[in-house]
Structure 1
Amino acid sequence: MTDTPKFKIQWHEKLNSTNIFLKHELLENSFDEFYVVCTKSQVKGKGQGNNKWESEDSKNLTFSLLLRPGFIEIQDQFIISKAISIAIINVLNRYKKGFCIKWPNDIYYQDSKIAGILIENSLIQNRIGTSIIGIGININQTNFFSDAPNPISLKQIINSETDITKFLAEILTSISEQYQRLRNNDHTDIDTEYFNSLFRNTGTYKFKDEDGLFKASILGISPYGHLILQSSNNEEKSYAFKEVEFIL
């Protein structure tokens, strides 16, 4: 066992993107692991691909965390996404049961999205050098104005406001617990917990790929993070991110 990590937290009134800010800072500074950049107002939050993250000023939790997981090889990098996703839903489920992970790493409550994760890794030979974990969680916002189809906040779910600083501390503690599991090479249990926490992990649902709509069930997740589906005609197919879409 190792000691609980000490997070160094830097708060900002406003940033375009915590991930972009932290990446630029790393060009000039060699921060220790567990350095955290938070902002009360993120005006150009990044999501996966070209997606944007909407966040009302001082209402939500938006931050980026620096990890240096040199013990993880390139081909295993999706395990970081699994561990971070588990860490977040473990905290949210303390407030109300029913949170899940929509592949690859969106956090859902029923059919609505409460949180998103953007992980940007840099490589050193065949291992992960640095991992910047960007996390946005809707906490106290109740009005959403972007074209995102299904946002929801913790306040809308539990009908009360949550102290954002306290919630951040809970999330960071939970991340440190999951990170220790990564250090202990506890990949099998993390894989199982991730799959058991997946959105629509049982049953048959509608999906859409380049060939159109189809019905399928989730068979599993490949070691590279691909979604493995079994269609209604028993055909198995593996999809990388953005190659298939859940129909909500």
Structure 2
Amino acid sequence: MIGEKIIWVATLPSTNDFLKENWHRLPHGTIVVAESQTSGRGRYNRYWYSPEGGLWFSILFKPRKQIKPTFFTKICCVAIVKALSFFEIDTKIKWPNDVYYKDKKLAGILSESVFEESTLKVVVVGIGLNVNNDIPKELKDKATSLREISTKDYDLKTTLKIILKYINQLLRRYLNKPEALTRVWKGLLIQKEGQQITFKLGDDIKTGKIFKIEDEKMILTVDDQQIQVSSLEILEP
């Protein structure tokens, strides 16, 4: 069961790093929550602003069978969308793993894996959800929080409990049929097949059409050629 053991601390450099450093002595399903992070990070190793008031936590998954690490990322993405729906907040997933309210980022997910001799031992999924925290002025046009959306404060422990409830439900439902989870995840994406997007790939900014969204990659048509990408930064829409 995810969340049977919860470690709640005032501050950490990074909840993901804590679990990666201590996974040997912690059970599957352990949660570590930091009221603030000093070195939180998101995709592309970017700094993740993590002050008091937000929900910053990581989950330790120790798979009993070989399964793609992205399965756990999708579980957490879908669970957050469902939990926010419980609060009557309608969100979508920006490919592959950011949660958006309208055109602003509300939550981000960073998954990291530990392998030993090519065997997957651990998947750590870090989740950053803007709850009651203030959004810095320089991010106001890109990010939002639950408090900003609904003009009320949320209890962090209750919010975490609801997210974990959905994670456990989804794990029970989809652990043996990950392809069905992928269909659910695709249905919640902002980006759709056939849609034109502008994106950053390396140092280049390009425009292309989404040909197909697969389990771990996106196939794009760019300048009459197809390219496959597992990671890129979508700029538009």
TM-score bracket, normalised by the shorter chain, equals 0.7 to 0.9
CA distance in 1, matches of 2:70, 2:97: 10
Structure 1 gaps, min length 5: none
1:4-83 alignment runs, 5 A limit: 4-5=1-2, 7-26=4-23, 29-57=24-52, 59-73=53-67, 76-83=68-75
Which residue, 210, 217, 226 being the options, matches 1:236? 226
Contact residue 81 and residue 90 of structure 2 kept, 8 A = no
RMSD: 2.3
Contact residue 16 and residue 45 of structure 1 kept, 8 A = yes
Q: What letter matches 1:245 in structure 2? A: I
Contact residue 96 and residue 158 of structure 1 kept, 8 A = no
1:154-169 alignment runs, 5 A limit: 154-169=146-161
Q: What letter matches 2:152 in structure 1? A: S
1:118-129 alignment runs, 5 A limit: 118-125=110-117, 127-129=119-121
CA distance in 2, matches of 1:110, 1:198: 12
Contact residue 36 and residue 64 of structure 1 kept, 8 A = yes
Deviation at 1:151, TM superposition (A): 1.1
Which residue, 171, 177, 200 being the options, matches 1:179? 171
Q: What letter matches 2:90 in structure 1? A: G
TM-score by length of 2: 0.88
User: Does the residue aligned with 2:84 lie in a helix, a strand or coil?
Assistant: helix
Cα–Cα, structure 1 residues 6 and 21, in superposed 2: closer, same or farther, change >3 Å?
closer
Instruction: Report percent identity of matched pairs.
Output: 27
* Alignment correspondent of 2:210: 217
TM-score by length of 1: 0.84
Deviation at 1:144, TM superposition (A): 1.6
Deviation at 1:108, TM superposition (A): 0.9
* Alignment correspondent of 1:188: 179
Structure 2 gaps, min length 5: none
CA distance in 2, matches of 1:70, 1:49: 29
Contact residue 14 and residue 42 of structure 1 kept, 8 A = yes
Contact residue 107 and residue 114 of structure 1 kept, 8 A = yes
Deviation at 1:78, TM superposition (A): 1.8
Contact residue 67 and residue 132 of structure 1 kept, 8 A = yes
Contact residue 114 and residue 153 of structure 1 kept, 8 A = yes
User: Does the residue aligned with 2:12 lie in a helix, a strand or coil?
Assistant: coil
Which residue, 129, 133, 142 being the options, matches 1:141? 133
Contact residue 208 and residue 220 of structure 2 kept, 8 A = no
Contact residue 15 and residue 39 of structure 1 kept, 8 A = yes
Cα–Cα, structure 1 residues 205 and 5, in superposed 2: closer, same or farther, change >3 Å?
closer
Aligned length: 235
Cα–Cα, structure 1 residues 37 and 52, in superposed 2: closer, same or farther, change >3 Å?
same
User: Does the residue aligned with 2:20 lie in a helix, a strand or coil?
Assistant: helix
Q: What's the CA shift string for 1:149-171, capped at 9, x where partnerless?
A: 61111111122111111000011
User: Does the residue aligned with 2:143 lie in a helix, a strand or coil?
Assistant: coil
Q: What's the CA shift string for 1:137-195, capped at 9, x where partnerless?
A: 00012332566861111111122111111000011111112222343x22121011111
